[in-house]
Amino acid sequence: MGNANKRTWLIVLCTVVAVVVAALFVAWSQFWGNAVRAERELYVSSRADYAALTDSLMPSLRHRTAFRLYARRLGLAESFKPGHYVLKRGMSVIEVARMLKLGMQTPVRVAIHNVRIPAQLAARLARQLDADSTAWMEVLTSPEMAREVGFDSVTLFSMFLPNTYEFYWTVRPEEFVRRMRREYDRFWTPERDAKRARSGLSRLEVMTLASIVAEETRQTDEMPRIAGVYMNRLRRGMPLQADPTVKYALQDFGLRRILHKHLKYQSPYNTYVNKGLPPAPICMPSLAAIDAVLDFEQHDYLYFCARPTFDGHHNFARTYREHLANARAYSAELNRRNIK
């Protein structure tokens, strides 16, 4: 072979090697290089198909053809896992596809507070987790689910404690309820149970009274005193006559003024027509309200009424005559402000 031919052959060989190296580099960069443009959250519902997944995912990716090829090799269309995923900037096609196949979810923070009824809780959870409100409502009102965790369908709501929890976005409603039972058990420490025993109340009764206290005031410093009023009335066999229970019985939580006609409404939750506590909480009480019941203030007050200054605090009274004077002052202010 002549020198000219050798040089030609060498040039061709170098060109081929360069092309192969370039092709390998391009392939490597597309499969292993930066594919995710910017960090974002990806929610893949258990009700979504593979087309919905790719529609949501592709705008975040470079190297989309490489993703489709690798996803096909993994059988991702048949094996992707629903969930909440965090796509981090610089992740590769391979990392993204494997994350979806293996279900490497990132937990979400679920906040439950300021909830009055199970339907409201179901709606809150549906906005924060994958299951829809119908699925949540079925479980929250299920007698079988309630029995499994030691309650009935009426009292199950008393088990839920307001807080912010970490869950996988795809948690099943049944597993959510079981987890809430474990949180409930952790909340009831030996110290809290000892206080509860001294009060003579059951756990359900503590939660129920705490729900009334929570609806009466947002002032945490006043909660133990209000709890003490209700404890005094319970021990004397007096009806609690708690206005929030009337609102709950009527299911009219926007009612600004309780009238005499409202007090006669027949319901097991109306503490004007029934002595003792309602059958279950009228809201999900705050932790402060629960502890206020356990640490209720010892005093001889039997009545309280909102101050006419509308500052969120109350005037307390030992006698009905004192209470009437406080109530008249408050009613006069309602009239002055034209609150019906």
Domain count, the chain: 3
Q: What are the phi and psi torsion angles at 274 (to 5°)?
A: -130, 140
User: Is residue 119 domain-shared with residue 167, that is, in the same domain?
Assistant: yes
List Cα–Cα distances, 36 to 56, 76, 194, in angstroms.
Answer: 13, 18, 55
31 has pLDDT over 60: no
User: Is residue 72 domain-shared with residue 60, that is, in the same domain?
Assistant: yes
Residue 305 lies in a domain: no
Residue 269 lies in a domain: yes
pLDDT in tens, 241-262: 999 999 999 999 988 888 889 9
| CA–CA–CA angle 294, 116, 122 (5° rounding) | 120
| CA–CA–CA angle 232, 237, 242 (5° rounding) | 65
User: Is residue 197 domain-shared with residue 292, that is, in the same domain?
Assistant: yes
pLDDT in tens, 78-90: 999 999 999 999 8
Residue 59 lies in a domain: yes
Residue 310 lies in a domain: no
Average confidence score pLDDT of the chain: 89
> Rounded CA gap, 133 and 162, in Å?
19
User: Is residue 80 domain-shared with residue 149, that is, in the same domain?
Assistant: no
Residue 16 banded pLDDT, cuts 50, 70, 90: very low
Residue with tokens 């406080």: 326
> Rounded CA gap, 281 and 107, in Å?
30
| HSE-up of residue 288 (Cα within 13 Å, Cβ side) | 14
User: Is residue 35 domain-shared with residue 81, that is, in the same domain?
Assistant: yes
Residue 1 lies in a domain: no
Start-to-end CA span in the chain (Å)? 109
User: Is residue 45 domain-shared with residue 133, that is, in the same domain?
Assistant: no
What is the pTM assigned to this prediction?
Answer: 0.85
Sequence-distant (≥ 6) Cβ neighbours of residue 222 within 8 angstroms: 313, 314
User: What is the average pLDDT across 50-61?
Assistant: 93
Domain enclosing residue 140, as ranges: 108-187
Token pair, residue 58, equals 């592709």
User: What is the average pLDDT across 179-196?
Assistant: 97
> Rounded CA gap, 89 and 28, in Å?
18
CATH number at residue 80: 3.30.1490.480
User: Is residue 194 domain-shared with residue 183, that is, in the same domain?
Assistant: no
Of residues 58 and 5, more confidence is placed in 58
> Rounded CA gap, 142 and 167, in Å?
21
The predicted pLDDT at position 6 comes to 53
User: Is residue 225 domain-shared with residue 177, that is, in the same domain?
Assistant: no
Element (H, E) at 128: helix 118-128
| Single-letter amino acid, residue 7 | R
